[in-house]
Structure 1
């Protein structure tokens, strides 16, 4: 849901006000409240910044692709990739930011050699990893999976191996594809080309639902 983003940003702004408990004329539990607010709000704001940089702010150097559009990194990350604090330096990534308000998004993966590890980590905007696709979780066979928002209800659609439900209306899928050595990069790129993402209506060749309303996204100040 979008409301928690606004709540989290508001909480983060409150955290900028210094507190020192009853010594500053504040209730004795102020420090505890501030700590709980930080635990609740800061991860949400931090992930919102990542989403803003990669999927909303088209002028940002870290912009990848708009919502519901899969972006493949055709090489490993370098120091120029600054949107993620500590990315793997030997793993080609693929990124997908999902707007789940109108309908689920279908993620299809190709058959991948059993000796190669890959994973697709599904994360809500609470920074909760609510599901995994990949070698350990679902195997290396070709399959399609749906990611649904919190209000979606229904039976598992035909051809879908599993439906993962996010507790927030926006979520991210982070793909990691094992790279054995530098000469292996073209093989990874072929695998990445087999990853697809599309709305459920497109997957089912059915009429699309009404588009969700536009959002006036809070801007992120990168000055700090």
Structure 2
């Protein structure tokens, strides 16, 4: 069973949650529980509202990814937050554990991406067509043929980090869709990938203050498993 999201920040305008791996951000044709449906139920109970509840999902995380997701409580807040995401005004930090390691400790990668909506697979393009994808990276730890990276995406494309890493021969651990040979299980026993949205910084939609939200790594984060790095130091 997928655990409930953790509430990281809440006021009258927005809610930030730590989404567990395996939970959909938004409902689909399967009818399975999602972050949106969980939030609807939570707000109905908290505010005793039997009718419709507004849930403004202004960005998403892939199902096998954990971490910070920001939700608006009002249409005004949703519009203002969505604008921040659209113009790159939101700072995002991800942790990823990849197979292999980069050839340098820090830098930036720039690609052009194209998504096949029929197969829900994104790929890099060699001819410069498609949408620009840019991400800054830093190596945090290495060991056992893997590396832990801090990733700061400047753009927010579908499957962006997963594709940019796989294109460089460093698929995210557990991401079988993009070439990983390893399997990582979430708390519900289903596969997850070693990608966690660690931090989100945005401007409050009504007050204008900077808000920084941090999500702790969940219990199924691979680093929490004994001996994951193959040595006490991970080197």
Normalising TM by the smaller chain, what interval? under 0.3
The normalised TM-score by structure 2 is: 0.26
The structure whose Rg is larger is: 1
The normalised TM-score by structure 1 is: 0.27
- Which structure shows the bigger proportion of residues in helix conformation? 1
- Which structure shows the bigger proportion of residues in strand conformation? 2
